[in-house]
Amino acid sequence: MTRIAIVGVAGRMGRTLVNAVQQDAGASLAGGIVEPGSSLAGADIGELAGLGKLGVAAVDSLEAIVDDFDVLIDFTTPRVTLNNLAACAKHGKGIVIGTTGLDDEELAALDAYRDKLPLVFAPNMSVGVNLTLKLLATAARALGDEGYDIEVIEAHHRHKVDSPSGTALKMGDVVAESLGRTLKEHGVFAREGQCGPRTDKEIGFATVRAGDIVGEHTVMFATEGERIEITHKASSRMTFAKGAVRAARWVAGQGNGRYDMQDVLGL
């Protein structure tokens, strides 16, 4: 039984994660962490998640429950995640990170922990998205150098703070890597005004932010005469939460290293 603590437990993903851990026979809920000084400290995390009392009170510091859990699941913000990585490394815990929007410096800081603890980091924990990444690599290899234009289109709810989504960037990365391109050189993240025709090798990104859309991604391969679209639509945050709990159970048995969902799922 893997004992799991959830940081950001009052957030959208945090509350969904409480549900997912409760539904998983191989995992137990060891604690929930809210922001330091939050008025929600002391609240029952089952009640925060709309499940009724579970007898686990939210705390506002990781140190308060450090003896109680094996793996921390973190869906918060880049800065908070880096602090939690340091704490988990210090206390010999595993960590599953779903936080997105890390800049290059923050990604390098995260990567520096690869030999200090077992960590899973993935911008999208859904099984379907991770299978989609495999399909994209195959499609890109078959089409990308044969005159097909590649565009990534994503839509999310109005509260999302980073853009394009971590998943869209990951999809773009997988496609670019399969074709020997890089997003740094070939990614096009905005088009406005007289920006001219597209170039052959660019990989374009377009973003929609509206309402309560959980997460939709399409990668389009278009040429004269046909268009192939590979689409994933998430209809509930539960798909990410279930993937994260699966990752937590998996990482509990791993040595130090940086892993992604492809490792967890054996894809």
Q: Which of 6, 27, 33, 230 binds ligand NAD (CB under 6 A)?
A: 33
The nearest distance, CB 70 to ligand NAD, in angstroms, is 19
Catalytic residue list contains 201: no
Query: Which residue, 48 or 143, is less far from ligand NAD as judged by CB?
Result: 48
157 is in an annotated binding site: yes
Size of the site for ligand NAD (CB under 6 A): 24
130-134: long-range contacts, CB 8 A cutoff, minimum separation 24: 130/243, 130/261, 130/262, 130/265, 130/267, 131/267, 132/171, 132/217, 132/230, 132/232, 133/170, 133/171, 133/174, 133/262, 134/262, 134/267
Residue 132 makes contact with ligand NAD by CB under 6 A: no
Q: 191-230 mask for ligand NAD (x: CB under 6 A)?
A: ----------------------------------------
Q: Which of 22, 28, 77, 178 binds ligand NAD (CB under 6 A)?
A: 77
Catalytic residue list contains 159: no
Residue 169 makes contact with ligand NAD by CB under 6 A: no
Residue 110 makes contact with ligand NAD by CB under 6 A: no
Residue 116 makes contact with ligand NAD by CB under 6 A: no
Name the active-site residue from 156, 170, 217, 232.
156
Residue 11 makes contact with ligand NAD by CB under 6 A: yes
Residue 8 makes contact with ligand NAD by CB under 6 A: yes
Query: Which residue, 77 or 222, is less far from ligand NAD as judged by CB?
Result: 77
81 is in an annotated binding site: no
**Active site residues per annotation:** 156, 160
Pick out the residues of the known binding site for NAD(+).
Answer: 8-13, 35, 98-100, 122-125
Pick out the residues of the known binding site.
Answer: 8-13, 35, 98-100, 122-125, 157, 166-167
